[in-house]
Amino acid sequence: MRFLSLTLLASAVAGFVVNQGSTCTLYPESLTHGGLPVDDVPSIHEAFNICGINGTVIFSNGTFNIATILNTTNLLNVDVILRGVLQFTDNIPYWRSHSWSVIFQNQVTAWLFGGTNVTLRGDGGWIDGHGQSWYTFSNNTANLPGRPITITVYNSTNVLIDSLTIIQPQFWAVFVWKSQNVSLTNYYTNATTNNAKYTTFNTDGFDSWNSDTILIENATITTNDDCVAAKGNTTNLYAKNVTCYGSTGMTIGSIGQYPATPDYVLNVTFEDVLCVGGLDCAYVKTWQSAALDVTTNGDAGGGGGGLVKNVTFRNFEVQDVGLPIQVTQCIYATASGQGCNTSNLALEDISWVNFTGTSKYNIAASMYCASNHPCPGIMFSDVNIDSVNATAGLPLYNTTLQTEVYQCDNIIGQNTSGIPCNHVAPAFFSQAVTKNVQ
């Protein structure tokens, strides 16, 4: 007994929590089990039960084995300090059958977290989602049912997550749901596959839904999907100083998936962003009006209404990005273009300001609004993107279009928008540009 002056709680379910006043310090179960990876979740729940109101929960410096779902919600005035490593197991059948529903898109999460006046600070520790097993198992199937989000901030007010590192997230890394006043500062996440055959689809760095007043500041995100995505009913989101590697960028969307629940995305600013490589960087994507392809989890839908208004993408640098800027109203329509011109969702007052850098091919922007909803207030100011080849003085191969393409359609006031439109945008244009536009 090393903690004679303290209370060592060792009930039938809970293992290793040391409680002193309002502070609960967690030690890995493996320390008392000869190094065996015993599940630490019962003792984690015990710590939050004891110290989850007006308290502090400290994960000490060690490796915690997260083998079962975590629910640490309804906290009140709590500081959580992460000095150790939270290592999620890769028991895929378990997680697929037990993870908590987040309702949206029938997705699930391994950890529900939050409350009122809560901080979660990385202090030398991090989260390891053991995502490689999911990247391999899902075998490039998008939105595999039961593939869990690493951590979901739920039903919360006044949450600060600072210096959090998540490596190899299982699915989306951080999701904010039904919450307000949530800040994510000094954040690092990195989903990198060890086998190019298995991509890291769906490892979004950050997503928010039905949430208001969100700050993301100083983040470095490596993913093969959205870097930061404001989904339906995200309002007053401000993202600043974000570096995105290999991603599909900073996005509003996808929205308009469900006819019963319109999506309003208002007052969003993305500022001081660097996109390195990847397919996209600064865009707005809505579902088509007709529900197509209803076969895959999360990929089914379309026809939802709503409004996107007052969005600014400011001070961006793009390096070798496939399609740096896009507006699409039928992101999943496929080449048929069905439902591209009958959107129930309106887009207004969206600006791209001060963009520099390079596109991978000969296209900088594809701006297409549904013909039944031409978009007002779409503005470019100081957008200067040129292809990598042109920048290097090389020709663009297999195309007659040697001038950077800015394609537009159904943009109200196109001539005064500041967009150097030089082509007509097709109704459907994939976010995945893989060659020069012809």
Ligand X SMILES: *[C@@H]1O[C@H](CO)[C@@H](O)[C@H](O)[C@H]1NC(C)=O
Judged by the rule CB under 6 A, the positions of this chain that interact with ligand X are: 53-54, 61, 71, 73-74, 76-77, 83, 100, 116-117, 124, 139, 155, 158, 186, 188, 190, 192, 210, 218, 220, 222, 232-233, 235-236, 238, 241, 243, 245, 261-264, 266-269, 310
Active site residue 225: yes
- Pull the structure tokens for residue 247: 């991603």
Cα gap 200→223, rounded to integer Å:
7
Minimum CB separation of residue 344 from ligand X in Å reads 13
| Token pair for 358 | 């390079």
| Rounded CA separation 127/179 (Å) | 22
Collapsed DSSP state (helix, strand, coil) of residue 95 = helix
Report the nearest approach of ligand X to the CB of residue 358 (Å): 19
Question: 121, exposed or middle or buried, with CB in 10 Å at 0-12, 13-18, 19+?
Answer: middle
The pairing of strands 228-230 and 206-209 is: parallel
Nearer to ligand X, 248 or 436 (CB): 248
- Tokens 């028991």 — which residue? 91
**176 exposure class (CB count in 10 Å sphere: 0-12, 13-18, 19+):** buried
Between residues 222 and 387, which has the closer beta carbon with respect to ligand X? Answer: 222
- Chain residue at closest Cβ approach to ligand X: 124
C-alpha dihedral sign at 58, 60, 63, 64 = negative
CB of 198 vs ligand X, minimal distance in Å: 8
Shortest CB 231 distance to ligand X, Å: 8
Residue whose CB is less far from ligand X, 407 or 417 = 417
d(CA 151, CA 405): 40
Smallest gap, in angstroms, from Cβ of residue 436 to ligand X?
28
C-alpha 245/C-alpha 220 separation (Å) is: 8
Active-site annotation holder among 225, 226, 263, 409: 225
Q: Which residues are catalytic?
A: 225
